[in-house]
Amino acid sequence: MTENNYRILVVDDEQDLCEILKFNLETEGYQVETANSAEEALTMDIAGFDLLLLDVMMGGISGFSMAKTIKKEPATANIPIIFLTARDTENDTVTGFNIGADDYISKPFSIREVMVRVRAVLRRTSDEGTASVEPQLLSYQGLEMNLSKKTVAIDGENIPFTKTEFELLQLLLEERGRVFSRQELIDRIWPKDVLVLDRTVDVNITRLRKKIGRFSKCIVTRLGFGYYFDS
């Protein structure tokens, strides 16, 4: 997909900021729509967008609450979300990633930073459809990954995964028993032009364990070294 085909929804109660982001994103070739509240955004066809830029602190429904609603619906569960917020605290960041955010940008931010983050997230979440000689299914007991459809099923029930979570699980499953340091996981999973902290890896591993239910104990922490999938 070319940049001209990517559709982005900007949701922020600051109308001027929406317009600034819309102008600059459209200059980069994206198709952009805006909403000045979560309530307005939820009346739109969310499933038709490839990325959401979502403000956290808004009157009425917050960005976190809107994201939770989106993640519960199968049609919108896998749409990437970048949170925009003036609240730069670790708790807010962890909350955002636990909901399923793909990135988190603190205000005030530079337009250049936003463009880099947008490109990185879209690249991570849009590389499906390329030819591959890998097996289409990767499974362990009742845990099954469909590598072509990018889906995960636990005991036959499909579970929504973000692209980062999917790639983490795929890597750990493909190389079962091998311990990966946090830096190795960052190098293998995240884009080179995005700053990723060790804490981000830990948060994603925590989310991954929660999603795979009874298999959570298979993802083992080796203190001082990293993580591995124990079969």
Phi, psi for residue 158 in degrees, rounded to 5: -70, 135
**pLDDT at res. 131:** 39
Rounded to an integer, the average pLDDT of 63-89 is 86
Rounded to an integer, the average pLDDT of 127-151 is 72
CATH code, 137-229: 1.10.10.10
Query: Do the Cβ atoms of 229 and 189 come closer than 8 Å?
Result: no
Rounded to an integer, the average pLDDT of 94-118 is 83
Alpha helix stretches (DSSP H) within 151-197? 163-174, 182-189
Rounded to an integer, the average pLDDT of 75-86 is 88
Would the pLDDT of 199 be above 80? yes
Of 37-51, 89-103, 167-181, 204-218, the least confident: 89-103
**pLDDT at res. 183:** 93
| Strands (DSSP E) found in 23-135 | 31-35, 51-55, 81-85, 103-106
Domains 3-125 and 137-229 alike in fold: no
Token duo for residue 27? 């200059």
pLDDT in tens, 144-195: 998 878 889 999 899 999 889 999 999 999 999 999 999 999 999 988 777 8
Rounded to an integer, the average pLDDT of 52-78 is 90
Would the pLDDT of 32 be above 50? yes
Angstrom distance (rounded) from CA 177 to CA 120: 30
The highest-level CATH class for domain 3-125 is: alpha beta
What does the radius of gyration of the chain's CA atoms come to, in whole angstroms? Answer: 18
Of 42-56, 122-136, 177-191, 197-211, the least confident: 122-136
Show me where the domains of the chain are located: 3-125, 137-229
What percentage of residues in the chain have a pLDDT greater than 70? 91
Rounded to an integer, the average pLDDT of 55-73 is 89
**pLDDT at res. 38:** 94
What percentage of residues in the chain have a pLDDT greater than 90? 56
